[in-house]
Amino acid sequence: MNTQILPYNSENIAKAADIIKKGGLVGMPTETVYGLAANALDENAVRSIFEAKGRPQDNPLIVHISDIEMLPTLVREIPQTAKDLAENFWGGPLTMIFPKADIIPSVTSGGLDTVAVRMPQSEAARALIEAAGVPIAAPSANLSGSPSPTTAQHVYDDMNGRIPMIIDGGECSCGVESTVICFRNGGIHVLRPGGVTAEMLSQYADVTIDKAVCAKPAENEKVLSPGMKYKHYSPKANVIIVDEHGKHFADFCLEHSVGNTLALGAGVDESGIFVDYGKTPELQAQRLFSLLRKADDSGVDTVFVEMPSKDGVGLAVYNRLLRAAGFEVVKYD
Ligand code: TXA
Ligand code: MG
């Protein structure tokens, strides 16, 4: 199978929608990362997502909608807080977990009795969902375990030969995946931080952050979101978080550099091994996955990354980095 990359326009959306309707897979741009899209209600189509990615069967998928009117058909119950959040943050990088309706196949929900739903902001994604006329299941369009794709080329690099088409909607503006939340005891519980921050959510209800967001779940520990227990976002290079800043960060990287090393610093001057990954959490989120992929393309063995801020979208950057680094954080003794 040859994988085509086609620009986002109405003609190509119609072609992509046709593939989805027939049970096929399409690379779909969103504002967060590219998704691997299929009809969420078609068991066989959803099974082929797991196959193409090499994804563990118990890791549930997010169901994407183009209109809030689609929500009541997919879930059994919608808390008032969810309605408030949908009104304020949809379309956007927020995924909410609800008790699932019977129409959602168990392959889509990874065998759980709940379903994750999100309405993207991306015009291309919404046009595709609308044209297909069905809710779309879409995990990030990377091979399981590797960094999420933020360009059509990244999707091609992982999925060439596995899917017929990728819609090119340009570079993703957010760059990290959506915030995933569930509702507990009248409050909001964050399972995965993302573009909609804890600070933003706290205007609507009390917010708690799951302990697995910033720590490694113990072997056999039951996690609320299956994705938390898997190795994630990892390039082939060894990623190490350096808990030093400024001159200390630079000195640490130079002293510990062996082989082909890259050092991603917050707002550093680019020279030698140093590459800038952005001064603000927003810039870091946008660039992180792309820089990790670039490191692999240029045969880097070790990537040192300056500890990000944990405020706002910074928490999402930190959460992804921890997993990419296998939780390895170092500093001067
Ligand atoms: O921004 C995004 O969310 C992107 C784009 C394509 O929309 N999608 C994405 O999907 O990141 P994926 O499959 O890579 O990550 C979905 C995460 C996983 O960690 C999964 O375990 C969790 O959401 N999840 C999905 N359904 C769930 C459920 N019913 N309960 C708990 N966690 C769930
Ligand atoms: Mg993913």
**Rg value, the chain, Cα:** 19
**What is d(CA 103, CA 116) in angstroms, rounded to the nearest whole number?**
14
Amino acid, res. 156:
Y
Q: Which pLDDT score, from 0 to 100, does residue 231 have?
A: 67
For atom 29 of ligand 1, which residue has the closest CA?
115
Across residues 234-240, what is the average pLDDT?
A: 92
46 lines ligand 1 (CB under 6 A): no
95 lines ligand 1 (CB under 6 A): yes
Q: Determine the length of the chain.
A: 333
Across residues 188-216, what is the average pLDDT?
A: 96
For atom 6 of ligand 1, which residue has the closest CA?
35
| Sign of torsion over alpha carbons 138, 143, 149, 154 | negative
Query: The tokens of 293 are what?
Result: 């992929």
Q: If you measure from the C-alpha of residue 168 to the centroid of ligand 2, how many angstroms do you get, rounded to a whole number? A: 19
29 lines ligand 1 (CB under 6 A): no
* Residue-wise pLDDT tens digits, 295-324: 999 999 999 999 999 999 999 999 999 999
* pLDDT higher than 70, residue 74: yes
* Residue-wise pLDDT tens digits, 261-278: 999 999 999 999 999 999
Query: The tokens of 54 are what?
Result: 């090499």
Q: Which pLDDT score, from 0 to 100, does residue 216 have?
A: 86
To test the ligand 1 pocket, which listed residue (46, 63, 151, 180) has its Cβ within 8 A of the most ligand atoms? 180
CA atoms within 13 A on the CB side of 39: 19
List the one residue out of 287, 282, 281 whose CA is nearest residue 262.
287
Give the CA angle between residues 202, 214, 108 to the nearest 5°: 80
* pLDDT higher than 90, residue 217: no
For atom 3 of ligand 1, which residue has the closest CA?
178
Contact 274, 246 (CB under 8 A): no
* pLDDT higher than 70, residue 230: no
* pLDDT higher than 90, residue 116: yes
Q: Which pLDDT score, from 0 to 100, does residue 264 have?
A: 98
**What is d(CA 296, CA 304) in angstroms, rounded to the nearest whole number?**
13
* Residue-wise pLDDT tens digits, 117-131: 999 999 999 999 999
DSSP string, 21-87: HTT--EEE--SSS-EEEEETT-HHHHHHHHHHHT--TTSPPEEE-SSGGGHHHHBS---HHHHHHHH
Contact 276, 267 (CB under 8 A): yes
Ligand 1 atom at shortest distance from the alpha carbon of 180: 23
To test the ligand 1 pocket, which listed residue (177, 184, 313) has its Cβ within 8 A of the most ligand atoms? 177
Q: Over the chain, what is the mean pLDDT?
A: 96
| Sign of torsion over alpha carbons 219, 144, 175, 70 | negative
* Residue-wise pLDDT tens digits, 127-154: 999 999 999 999 999 999 899 999 999 9
Contact 119, 86 (CB under 8 A): yes
